[in-house]
Structures are given as C-alpha cells and as structure tokens.
Chains A and B, each alone.
Chain A
Amino acid sequence: DAGVTQSPTHLIKTRGQHVTLRCSPISGHKSVSWYQQVLGQGPQFIFQYYEKEERGRGNFPDRFSARQFPNYSSELNVNALLLGDSALYLCASSPSGGSNQPQHFGDGTRLSIL
C-alpha cells in the first residue's frame, strides 16, 4: 500500500509569494495533520483536519491556512512568504481524529525562500 505522498518534493520561492503544498493520506485514513520542521529542530504542529473539519491549529500566523477535500487529501497554503518560512513541511495521516494510533508521515516538501 502507498504511504503518505506529498508534492512537490522541493520548492523555491521568493519573499512575498504564496505557496500551495499537497498531501495524499494513506488509503482509509481520514485525518491529516501538517507540521513545520525548521532545520535542526523538531517538527512543530500547524493544523489537523478530520472529516474535512479543522480539529486543531498550532501557533502559526493567519498567513497559514489549510483545507481537506472529500477524498481526504489536503492542501497547506502559505501567503506572503517570509525568509523564516523556509523549512521542511511534513504531512501526517492517521485513521481517525483523536485515536491513540500513530501518525504516519510523508517525506515532506522542502520549501526554500530566497
């Protein structure tokens, strides 16, 4: 079975631009979470979506937004990009929204802001 897939794998943008990152969860998984991993640090929670509803939001500015589609795939949007947004963006899926099941991560999208 395919794991969590993310696209694109790498992206280079300039300050002020916007970006859309995409994630397809493992088949049968209904919850998708997004994390930001800055180089040298642990991942930081951005959003969780379950059944197309936002279930949680981390401490990120309103420039960050996300949505989940009927097929449970998800997009993360970031507007007005700043140099500090350069990071690895990880998507994780799990079968349900609040279970004790582990989240399964994709390989991430590496975003570089020039």
Chain B
Amino acid sequence: AQSVAQPEDQVNVAEGNPLTVKCTYSVSGNPYLFWYVQYPNRGLQFLLKYITGDNLVKGSYGFEAEFNKSQTSFHLKKPSALVSDSALYFCAVRDRNNAGNMLTFGGGTRLMVKP
C-alpha cells in the first residue's frame, strides 16, 4: 500500500518570503514522487517530479523539492513567494514496482501568499 501525508491544511506566507509545503510518503518499494497545483475550478497542473538521481529537483515557476529518503519526505519549496502562487498543492506518490501508473495523493495544502 502507498500513502501520502500533507500535515498542514494551510500555509500562510508573505510575498517575497520563502515558502515550504511539507509532504511525507509511504511505499513498499522505491517511489516516484510528484507535486501538482490546482487553481479554483481547474484540474491539476504538474509542477515537478522525482524519479532518481539528484535529491533536489527543480520544476516550473521557480518551485523545487527536496527528496529525503531517510525521512521519507518530499517537501516543496520556493525561495521567494508570489501572490499568484496562492493555490491548492498536492503531493503524490507512485510505487515504481507497480505495473500501472496509479497515483496516490495527499489531502492537499492551501497556500496563501499575502501582499
């Protein structure tokens, strides 16, 4: 079984400050990890993924995430937040040993960036 936990329902940050959205995961094998963003009344938009290699992954819109195998974490980060980053963020995991591509999502974290 695979699972994802996003411990914060909401993260508040001032524009220009760094932001972190937390994610921890559980899989029986080695993980593929993803971050998606969802704006109101829209589907999910892919931000970045970890497959293998460098633990620091860079993605779209200046976002990055750090894979930590010992802590089973994949926190999303951005050095300087924008008001337009305000949205719902989802972390997702897939066990690379599974034949299919089923994603298991966390419950989501609402990011609020204030001017």
Binding site for B on A (CB under 8 A): 4, 31, 33, 35, 41-45, 48, 50, 55-56, 58, 90, 92, 94, 97-100, 102-108
> How many inter-chain residue pairs (CB < 8 Å) link A and B?
70
A-B contact pairs, 30 of them (CB 8 A): A33-B101, A35-B103, A42-B90, A42-B107, A42-B108, A43-B44, A43-B105, A45-B104, A50-B100, A55-B99, A55-B100, A55-B101, A56-B98, A56-B100, A90-B43, A90-B44, A97-B101, A98-B98, A98-B100, A100-B96, A102-B46, A103-B103, A105-B36, A105-B43, A105-B45, A105-B46, A106-B43, A107-B42, A107-B43, A108-B42
Q: How far is the CB of B101 from chain A (nearest CB, A)?
A: 6
B98: chain A residues at CB < 8 Å are: 56, 98
Q: How far is the CB of B76 from chain A (nearest CB, A)?
A: 14
Picked from B100, B106, B108, the residue with its CB within 8 Å of the CB of A48 is B100
Q: Give the bracket for the number of chain B residues in contact with chain A.
A: 20 to 34
Knowing that A43-B44, A56-B101 touch, tell me 16 more A-B residue pairs with CB under 8 angstroms: A4-B43, A33-B103, A35-B103, A41-B107, A42-B108, A45-B104, A56-B99, A94-B101, A97-B101, A98-B99, A98-B101, A102-B46, A102-B49, A103-B101, A105-B36, A107-B43
How far is B4's CA from A55's CA once the two chains are assembled, in angstroms?
22
Task: Report whether B34 and A102 are in contact in the complex, using a CB–CB cutoff of 8 Å.
Answer: yes
A42: chain B residues at CB < 8 Å are: 4, 90, 92, 105-108
